[in-house]
Amino acid sequence: MTAAIVLAAGRSQRYGRANKLLEATPDGPLIGHVLDVLAAAPVRPIVVVVGADGRRVARIARRHVAHSGRLRVVSNAAYREGMASSLRAGLSALPPHCGGALVCLADTPGLDRRLIRRLLAHRRPGVDVARPQHGGVPGHPVYLSQRLITDLTDLAGDRGAQPIIRRVPAHRRRTFEAGIEAVRDIDTPGALRRFVSASRRGHKSSR
């Protein structure tokens, strides 16, 4: 079974004092959307790495991932060191028989089930990395094979898995074109306001 790791520990410096993951959207806290999509996907376990406001983020995770047997909440006390520390914490919580993992950012409100299905379709022997892109820009989530996971234990800094992914031979990587949602995350209050406004318009037009 493929696992999912949700990186939800950091607090964006560009966003300001508030924790953007707890900010309200028409469908609840921002992080709730990613959790809902993963809860409906064939992934197990769903590892949520928390740090800043960890207890509040963990409570939200438990509400959104109804099948608690699938949820593992991991606290990353070193979250200020960067994203790589959260990825290490998430990888360390994976079961030994895990066949691979989807690494997801918690602030990607455009993530949907179709993108997850397309990504999981690339799981096969000989593929170590798969990810969406938009206009040549790498996006998220990122699929990592079991083989590659073992190479990711010495990460440092805030670059996540990028240095190791770049060393993967081209024939063991897969990319596919996706919508702009694959490269869009929420980094500023303005970006959140634009997303909320667009979401409300979408809700009204669907009535």
Which of 16, 25, 88 lies closest to 52, judged by CA? 16
Q: Are 123 and 2 in contact (CB under 8 A)?
A: yes
- pLDDT (tens digit per residue) in 72-89: 999 999 998 888 889 989
- pLDDT (tens digit per residue) in 116-159: 999 999 999 999 999 999 999 999 999 999 989 887 866 655 55
Q: Are 26 and 196 in contact (CB under 8 A)?
A: yes
Please tell me the pTM assigned to this model.
0.92
Which domains, and CATH codes, for the chain? 3-205 (3.90.550.10)
